[in-house]
Amino acid sequence: MSSVLEKALAIVELLVEAPAGLPVTAIAAATDQPASGVHRTLQELARLGYVRQLQAQGNYALTIKLPTMGLGFMGRAGLTDVAQPVLDGLAALSGELIRLSVVDGDRLIWVAVAQGATRGLRYDPGQEQGVVVHLASSAGGQAWLSTMSEDEALARVAAQGLLRRAEGTGPQAPRSLTRLLDQLAQARARGYATAVDSYIPGMAAMAVPVRYHGDGPVLGCLSIAGPTVRMTPQRMAELAPALQAAAAELGAAAGGVQYFQANVRALTAAADPGRQSA
């Protein structure tokens, strides 16, 4: 790391994963920074209201300031107002976990969720909003990759890594590019991507891309996830029309979401530079 900003953001991103806070020494080790520099950065972040020390000589943790800013941004962008009713309706119909991810530059990020399972066995991670989606092992990631050429899909996977660097990766996660490309081909033919015992053991998911006005740029992906005992191939086939209809509804409503409008303008400009300059 070179810049002061990069070092500070590395600390913030680390603390996002540690709500109970971390000591200076642990933060320094995890971010590969000297403890003295980490301490100075934390003091500055505390002065600005982004972190707090839980007790004298104790751990440092994020304050509620950043989450509040994030929620405020989502609300002002219009994303939650448009998306949440659609997610809630699909959750009620399916009885499973519904997640919406959005394209943010070169990444896919989970931003909204609705839980349809009210009792019994259910998949309920509870900590994935704001998390960057691992493309190769998740249904949402594969749904996005399936909209790309093979070269573009492989480039994105190479940049992120074929295997997810986290405990709990499922035994059926693709461990070769050949297998991944085969799964993407199946997703295109089927009309939706699936990931069974791939992202997490015991969990199965299906996902489709959300396109602007149905056939425009990909804005994100919509998925249904649940325990593998319920999310069987037959059940996924039954849920596919409802999932696709919900994605189409989101795509049709995207024109009223400022965040999506900005994304569409950026994607259109990238695809046609001459049009941007015209």
The whole model's pTM is what? 0.76
Task: For residues 221 and 140, give the distance between their C-alpha atoms in angstroms, rounded to a whole number.
Answer: 6
User: In this predicted model, what pLDDT tens digit does every residue of 188-226 receive, in sequence order?
Assistant: 999 999 999 999 899 999 999 999 988 889 999 999 999
User: What is the model's pLDDT at position 105?
Assistant: 85
pLDDT at 277: 41
CB 135 within 8 A of CB 195: no
At position 140, the amino acid (one-letter code) is: G
Same domain, 111 and 189: yes
Q: Which of 44, 63, 82 delimits the end of a domain?
A: 63
Does residue 278 fall inside a structural domain? Answer: no
Residue 166 phi/psi, 5-degree rounding, is: -160, 150
Query: Cα-atom radius of gyration of the chain, to the nearest Å?
Result: 20
Residues of the chain predicted below pLDDT 70: 1-2, 71, 74-78, 119-129, 166-168, 258, 270-278
Identify whether the C-beta of residue 219 lies closer than 8 Å to the C-beta of residue 265: no
Single out the residue of 266, 237, 240 nearest to residue 106, CA to CA: 266
Q: Are 239 and 245 in contact (CB under 8 A)?
A: no
Percent of the chain with pLDDT over 70: 87
Read off the pLDDT of residues 118-151 as tens digits, 9 standing for 90 and up: 766 666 665 666 788 999 999 999 999 999 999 9
| Assigned token pair, 73 | 């941004």
**Domain limits for position 236:** 69-271
163 shares a domain with 85: yes
Residues 6+ apart with CB under 8 A from 62: 12, 15, 16, 19, 50, 51
Asked if residue 94 and residue 58 are part of one domain, the reply reads: no
Contact 109, 133 (CB under 8 A): yes
Domain end (from 13, 41, 63): 63
Counting every residue written for the chain, the total comes to: 278
